[in-house]
Amino acid sequence: MYLTRDEEKSLNGENGETMASAYKILLAIGMATGAEKLVPIKWAHISGVNYNTIGDAGVEFLEKFSRGAKVAVKTTLNPMGFDRNKPASLPEIFTDQQMRIVRSYERMGTTPSFTCIPYEIFDIPDRGSAVSFAESNAALYSNSVLGLLTNKESSLSALASSVTGKAPYSDLRIEEFRHPKVTVKPTVKLNTEVDYGLIGYFAGKAVNDTCIAFDDMKEKTGIINMKSLSAAIGTSGICGMFTSEEKTNEVISYGREESNTIKDEINTAEDGDIIVLGSPQLGINEINFLSKLVESKRFLKRCMIFCPRAVYNQAANTGLIDKIQKSGVEFICDSCTCLTPLITRNDFDSVITNSIKGAYYLNHSNRIGVALKDMNSIVKEYTD
C-alpha cells in the first residue's frame, strides 16, 4: 500500500505513539482489504464505548491513546453502558471504568452522541462521501440506504480513521466493488421487523461477501425494517452492504424452512420476564409508531426502551415521551440493549425483544434466554 512521506513519518513515530498506532492499524486493514492508498473521510463513528464491550484492556488502551491525538474529522460515539442522568445500581467498578472511557473520548474531542444510529441524528454528507463507520448496523445502513462509502470498520480502525482523517481506499469505498455476486430471494412474505431481521441474519451467514442483493425488497420497506435488516446482517457475517436493485447469477432461496432454522437459533425462550426494545436504539419513527400502539394501554410486564438522548429530547418536546410513559415504559438514554450491564442473569432468566441483534448478544454475551416477537405482537400480548 502506498503511503505519502508524511504518512510514512507518522507510522515511524515522528508524530508520537498514538499516531504511529493509528497508521499501524490503517496499514494492516489496508493490506487486508487490498488498498492501494489512504483517502480522506468526512466522518468517523466509533464503537467500543460500553465498558462491557472493551473491558479493562480497552480502558487502559484508550487512556493512553487519547493523550496523543485529537480527532481530525467529525467523530461520533456508540452507546455507553448506562444513562448518564439515571444512576443505576451498578457495581462501582463498572461506573468508574465506564467514566474513564467517556473521559478518554472527551479528551480526543469526539461528539458525546452515545448512539448506534448516528444516521438518524446527524446531517448526512452527500451520497458518495467516504466515511469510516464501526458499529455494523450503521455501516450497513449508511452504505445501503444513504449511499455513503464505508467498509464495515472495527472499533480500532474507525478510531484510527478518526485521528488521521483517513481510511483505506478499498472494498466498499470503491464503486466497482459495491456490487453483489449473490442474491437472497425470499419465498415467504416479510411482514414485520422480526421477519426482516431473520432474513438479514440468514443472508449474513450464508453469503461470505461484503455486498449482498435481496430480491423483491423495495424502498417501501421503510426505515424500521431497514434498521432491523442492517443490524442482523452485521451480526452474522462480514457483509457491509445490501442492495435490492441488482440481479446476480447466483441466487439463494429463503423460505419457511430457512426462516424456521434461524428462528430456532435466535429464539431461545418461550416467554420473558422483561420487554427490551432498542437494538439498534429506537429512532423517532419507532417512537412514533409505538406511541400509537400503546395509546390508552398499560404494559403488564416491565418494559425498557433504549434510545439516543437526542431522540428522547425531540420526542419529549412533541409530547410523545409522555404518551408512551403512561403505558408504564421506562426510557434509557446513552446506552443500548447490546451487552447492557442493566440486564443480567442475576435479575432475569429471559427477555422479550424484537431485535435479532439484541437477541444474539443477550444470549451469547449476557447469557440470557430470549423470546423473539415483533413490536406489534408485544404490545398486543403484554398490555391491557
CB atoms within 10 A of CB 328: 15
Residue from 15, 154, 268, 314 in contact with other proteins (CB under 8 A): 154
Nearer to other proteins, 102 or 378 (CB): 102
Instruction: Give the torsion sign (CA, 51, 54, 56, 58).
Output: negative
Instruction: Give the torsion sign (CA, 7, 8, 11, 17).
Output: negative
Interface region with other proteins, contact rule CB under 8 A, candidates 5-13, 173-181, 228-236, 340-348: 228-236
Rounded Cα distance between 269 and 319, Å, is 35
User: Is residue 75 a contact point for other proteins (CB under 8 A)?
Assistant: no
Interface region with other proteins, contact rule CB under 8 A, candidates 27-35, 241-249, 306-314, 324-332: 27-35
Nearer to other proteins, 7 or 153 (CB): 153
Residue from 7, 83, 120, 135 in contact with other proteins (CB under 8 A): 135
User: Is residue 54 a contact point for other proteins (CB under 8 A)?
Assistant: yes
Residue from 236, 279, 354, 383 in contact with other proteins (CB under 8 A): 236
Q: Which residues make Cβ contacts (< 8 Å) with residue 364, sequence separation at least 6?
A: none
Q: What does residue 3 show for φ and ψ, rounded to 5 degrees? A: -115, 140
User: Is residue 237 a contact point for other proteins (CB under 8 A)?
Assistant: yes
- Give, in order, the Cα–Cα distances in Å from 331 to each of 121, 203, 312, 316: 18, 32, 8, 11
Interface region with other proteins, contact rule CB under 8 A, candidates 4-12, 66-74, 155-163, 371-379: 155-163
First to last CA, the chain: 62
Q: Count the residues of the shown chain that bind other proteins, applying the rule CB under 8 A.
A: 45
Nearer to other proteins, 23 or 382 (CB): 23
Residue from 33, 142, 164, 335 in contact with other proteins (CB under 8 A): 33
User: If you ran DSSP here, which 8-state letter would residue 240 be given?
Assistant: -
Contact criterion met (CB below 8 Å) for 232 and 264: no
- Give, in order, the Cα–Cα distances in Å from 75 to each of 172, 223, 319, 356, 384: 20, 23, 30, 27, 43
User: Is residue 24 a contact point for other proteins (CB under 8 A)?
Assistant: yes
Nearer to other proteins, 61 or 289 (CB): 61
Place of cell 423495495: 218
Residue from 12, 32, 70, 257 in contact with other proteins (CB under 8 A): 32
Task: Output the CA angle 6-127-25, nearest 5 degrees.
Answer: 35
User: Is residue 184 a contact point for other proteins (CB under 8 A)?
Assistant: no
User: Is residue 314 a contact point for other proteins (CB under 8 A)?
Assistant: no
Residue from 3, 40, 42, 60 in contact with other proteins (CB under 8 A): 60
User: Is residue 193 a contact point for other proteins (CB under 8 A)?
Assistant: no
Rounded Cα distance between 115 and 316, Å, is 17
Interface positions with other proteins (CB under 8 A)? 21, 24-25, 27-29, 31-33, 47-48, 53-58, 60-61, 134-136, 139, 151-158, 160, 204, 208, 234-238, 265, 339, 360-361, 364-365
